[in-house]
Amino acid sequence: MQVKKNPKADLNRDSGLYFVFGLAVVLFLTWRALEWKSYDSTQEEIVQLIQVDDLDENVPVTEQLLTAPPPPPPAAPEVIEIIEDTEEIEETVIESTETTQETVVADVDLEASDINVLEEEEEIIVPFAVIEEVPIFPGCEGLSRADQRTCFQQKVQEHIRDNFTYPRTAEELGIQGKVFVQFTINTSGHVTEIKTRGPDHLLEVEAKRIIASLPQMKPGRQRNRSVKVPYSIPINFKLM
């Protein structure tokens, strides 16, 4: 037995028409939404002018001070008397002490014996290696020139060893190194012009102190004349 349906009861019969209609409505609404324009609402401002009557200002009353005018200048006398000076003033004449071309120089007779010529001795510096007679250190007297040279060097080294003191600050800081000392024995046998060059100022000060304590010596001589003799020696500061 076949079941017969009423054609009007078929729900899928007009589905395509409904789809097209709904699509047209959606497109129309979308188009109107895109074309929609909105404008800012204008607000009218009401300005009210209030007229104010003229303001009356109370100006304080000031009083003008009346000052007396200055007195008039004294009037000149009608007759001017002229008093003549009767005393004569002596003028002081100041004579110039500068010499001019017109000054007469008195003739003075001078003889050659009346003129003392001072001869300035020229300081001669001779290196220790080439000097004829080296400076004589105390205790090196009476030796030959060659032995005096060796004795001088030994005495200087002994003096350094006997007077050597390691600086405490340099010892605590671990500072050590070699200091080169250069000094000059002048024509009177004294040590001068001490120059030091080393790794630290503390070591240089100690080296300068040792050399400055050298005793006075017999000055070096070149051609029977006392001369200045420069000498150099290294002092090694080494921590044990």
Return per-residue pLDDT of the chain as tens, 240 residues: 555 556 666 666 677 788 888 889 889 999 888 888 776 665 555 545 555 555 555 656 566 666 777 777 776 666 666 666 556 666 666 665 666 555 555 555 656 565 665 555 667 899 999 999 999 999 998 888 889 999 999 999 999 999 999 999 999 999 999 999 999 999 999 999 999 999 999 999 999 999 999 999 999 999 989 999 999 999 999 887
pLDDT score at 18: 81
pLDDT at 11: 62
* pLDDT of the residue at 84: 62
pLDDT at 21: 86
At residue 232, the pLDDT reads: 93
Query: What is the spatial distance between Cα 108 and Cα 231, in angstroms, rounded to a whole number?
Result: 53
Helices 201-212, 145-163: inter-axial angle, 10-degree rounding: 130
Single out the residue of 133, 230, 219, 238 nearest to residue 181, CA to CA: 230
Domain boundaries of the chain, sorted by first residue: 145-237
What is the architecture of the domain spanning 145-237?
2-Layer Sandwich (3.30)
